[in-house]
Amino acid sequence: MKKFIQEFKDFISKGNVVDLAFAVVIGNSFNAIVTSLVNDVIMPLVGIIIGGIDFTGIKITYKTSSIMVGNFIQNIINFLIIALSIFVMVKVFTKLSHKKKEEELPPPESKEAVLLEEIRDLLKKQVRQQKSKQVK
């Protein structure tokens, strides 16, 4: 039982699990924002553009059963908008992280600088060899 508990502690303390937990929390928060964007901003605009049609009211009824086609259409639109929003956010974060990485990297050395460093190292080596000959 102790081994099981230790393995569980090791699993939980790994960065992947902690990162995943943060991603789930942030994802849920992001979902609320995007859902509000879709329901409160985009869908009213879509309704204005297409003449005030409310998708959620579209349904096919047979006797006592109803197939809620409008809700399905609404969910497809929500999914597409959420996917587009996430895509744009990932692109922005990726672009920002690449800029940050580029800023952190030192500029590449020129060929001349590399050659000068090699010459310097050879001269240092020659001086050391001459000093070691003098000591003997």
**Cα 128 from Cα 133, distance rounded (Å):** 9
Identity at 106, one-letter amino acid code: P
pLDDT at 104: 67
Query: Each residue of 70-85: pLDDT tens digit?
Result: 888 878 877 887 788 7
Joined together, the tokens standing for residue 32 give 């609320």
> Which residues in the chain land under pLDDT 70?
12, 15, 53-54, 100-105, 135-136
Alpha-carbon separation of residue 64 from 52, 61, 67, 74, 98 (angstroms): 28, 7, 10, 23, 57
**Which pLDDT value is given to residue 101?**
66
Taking only the tens place, the pLDDT of each residue in 36-56 is 887 788 777 877 887 776 677
